[in-house]
Amino acid sequence: MSSPDCKLYPNYHHGGIVKKIVGNILLVVMLPVILLGGLGCDLLPDVDYINVAVSASINAEVSNGVSREPWAGVHLQIEIYKAGGENEIFNKITNTNGEITEQSQATFKVYREQGVQIFVKPISGVLPLSMDGEIFDPSKHSNYSGGNAILPWLIIEDVGWGETYYWSPHITLSLFVSQS
């Protein structure tokens, strides 16, 4: 006596149904992989970085709590730093408006989770005459704010791999001097 399954599925005992199911699964899964591979499509990008082009505008000012003036003729050190150790350092002097006329520029290959920072600090110069015109002394005049900018990975990551993100921050270094 034969089993009822034999009448419904004549190849049941010979594994015909299982072979068809496995064959169809392999066809559905393997065919797209073979076709995509044959067309040269890569599932992963060729590059694993994003170019970041930095062009920073910088100015300096001095404040005594009552008035605020451009800091003309101050020698500034500008460091553009990429997490991971790369950096560019510039030494520039402000004009009569307290501005650096030539932008500080650098380009980095930024990899996953890295960011870019800019640090500006005064090196030497003379304070405005209205603020006693004394020579800048880093040990005495260390009360300054601003002078930095941060570009975190969370902003950069929206750009595609291998593409360029253009960052143009405006940075103001403000030195506070006490009134005499």
- Check residue 91 and give its pLDDT: 96
- Distance, in Å, from the CA atom of 60 to the CA atom of 54, rounded to the nearest integer, reads 19
DSSP secondary structure of 101-115: SSPEEEEEEEETT--
49-176 topology per CATH: Immunoglobulin-like (2.60.40)
H or E stretch covering 164: strand 164-167
Structure confidence by residue, pLDDT tens digits, 22-31: 666 766 766 6
- Check residue 20 and give its pLDDT: 73
What is the average pLDDT across 51-56?
96
Q: What's phi and psi for 14, nearest 5 deg?
A: -95, 5
Distances (CA, A) of 178 to 24, 57, 65, 67: 82, 27, 8, 11
Provide the pairing of β-strand 49-63 with 164-167: parallel
Structure confidence by residue, pLDDT tens digits, 141-175: 888 888 999 999 999 999 999 999 999 999 999 99
Identify the residue with better confidence: 1 or 18.
18
Q: Percent of the chain beyond pLDDT 90?
A: 55
- Check residue 25 and give its pLDDT: 74
Contacts of residue 81, defined as CB under 8 A and 6 or more positions apart, other chains included, come to: 87, 116, 117, 118, 119
Structure confidence by residue, pLDDT tens digits, 40-50: 555 555 889 99
Distances (CA, A) of 23 to 12, 106, 135, 180: 16, 56, 85, 90
Contacts of residue 45, defined as CB under 8 A and 6 or more positions apart, other chains included, come to: 161, 162
Structure confidence by residue, pLDDT tens digits, 120-141: 999 999 988 887 888 988 888 8
Tokens 């072979």 belong to residue: 19
Structure confidence by residue, pLDDT tens digits, 74-127: 999 999 999 988 999 999 999 999 999 888 999 999 999 999 999 999 999 998
Least confident of 11-15, 66-70, 167-171: 11-15
H or E stretch covering 172: strand 170-176
Q: What's phi and psi for 153, nearest 5 deg?
A: -60, -35
